[in-house]
Structure 1
Amino acid sequence: MTTWHWVRHGPTHQKTFTGWRDVPADLSDKAAIARLAQHLPKDALVVSSDLTRSVNTASALQGTRTRLPHDPALREFHFGVWDGVHFSTVAEWHPDLSRAYWEQPGDHTPPGGESWNTSAARVAMAVQRIEAAHPGRHIIAVAHFGVILTQVQAVLGVSAQEVLAHKIEPLSVTTLNRATSTAEVINHLP
């Protein structure tokens, strides 16, 4: 039985759509990183998306844990032409599409990007591949808000619209177990 410990990368302080753009994470909160590293299983494998904000957060948490290669399939959603653009500007450009993208997530696709369903399928294939290569292990996956939500959705069996109500803070951990269909989200460790 594989247990996933999904960690959202450190904060980026972006006020825009931030998908495949490679922006750094603010890892200055050493106490929060230390608490998170202490909380995570010592014998877990560590994997991250290949974007700098996840790679550097994974490096900060790794310690003596074994690191797997960065995985581009664990990238955040691809927002296409919306990436790097403020949400209000996107709403002006594409009022109906931008509203539908969040209110009815599924097949709505930003221009040049990918839909919720396409993103979720990409991440699911990566999860299956990693689980097959490392069965029964604890896996710390440092990734992104949307990526983590797709996995909460898959484990809990809820709709994309329902899962968007979950709060996933930077430097939080979401522990998922498919065998028991359980999810525990810890946004702030004591």
Structure 2
Amino acid sequence: MRHGAPVLTGRLLGRTDSPATEAGIAACVAQAEGLEVSAVVSSDLVRASACAAALGGAATIDPRWRELDFGEWDGLAAAEIDAAPLGRFWDDPDANPPPGGERWSSLTARVAAAVAAVTVPTLVVTHGGAMRAALAGLCGFGQRELWAFDLPYASVLALKVWPGPTPTAQIAGLW
């Protein structure tokens, strides 16, 4: 599940820890109704962890589910960033990471490690970038295909995962 709408929107929020709005938290609670899970795991950023806490029960905090670190761009709106390097980043975020930021391959590696730690049906409250990184690693989607997925705040992406040396997954739902 992607966290609820943050107070700050329209910005590259990686490590910038903007809290979720009350409406954003309520949207996550509504989306989680009826889900049958054995555990809840959350990014350590408050916009995700507050949503997980509102679901009731104890959530395990795992920083590997954090959003991509946008470095010097973190917290900025796209209009505040030079269009040329930003465009190169969107075209190939591994070859063109934000200045002082994280490479796409680093995000996908840490999310892969977090996915490998999931052993029971689990609701993970995380971020759009981490969700796309999971899709890249588990389903083999390329950068262009990843951006074809609309992952609005409080959306749920259900995956059936087959663990193993090369874990794979099937998309079971997106709402």
Q: TM-score, normalised by structure 2?
A: 0.87
Find the residue that maps to 2:125 and give its secondary structure: strand
* Alpha-carbon RMSD: 1.9
* More off after superposition, 175-184 vs 81-90: 175-184
Question: Are residues 1:9 and 2:3 paired?
Answer: yes
The total of aligned residue pairs comes to: 169
Question: Are residues 1:44 and 2:35 paired?
Answer: no
Partners in 2 of 1:118 and 1:29 — Cα distance? Answer: 28
With over 3 angstroms needed to count, the CA separation of the structure-2 counterparts of 1:177 and 1:88, relative to structure 1, is same
Higher relative contact order (CA 8 A, sep 6+): 1
Aligned twin of 1:145: 128
Residue ranges of structure 1 left out of the alignment (5+ in a row): 1-6
Question: Alpha-carbon deviations, 1:64-110, whole Å to 9, x = none?
Answer: 4x532x111111000000011110121x2xx3321111122333211
Identity of aligned residues (%): 33
Residue 160 of structure 1: how far off its partner (Å): 2.0
Alignment of structure 1 residues 128-167 onto 2, 5 Å: 128=116, 130-131=117-118, 135=119, 137-167=120-150
With over 3 angstroms needed to count, the CA separation of the structure-2 counterparts of 1:177 and 1:107, relative to structure 1, is farther
Runs of 4+ in 1 over 2 A off after TM superposition: 27-35, 104-107, 178-181, 184-187
Aligned twin of 2:151: 168
Aligned pair partner of 2:59 in 51, 64, 67? 67
Aligned twin of 1:4: none
With over 3 angstroms needed to count, the CA separation of the structure-2 counterparts of 1:182 and 1:16, relative to structure 1, is same
Residue 60 of structure 1: how far off its partner (Å): 1.3
Aligned twin of 1:111: 99
Residue ranges of structure 2 left out of the alignment (5+ in a row): 163-167
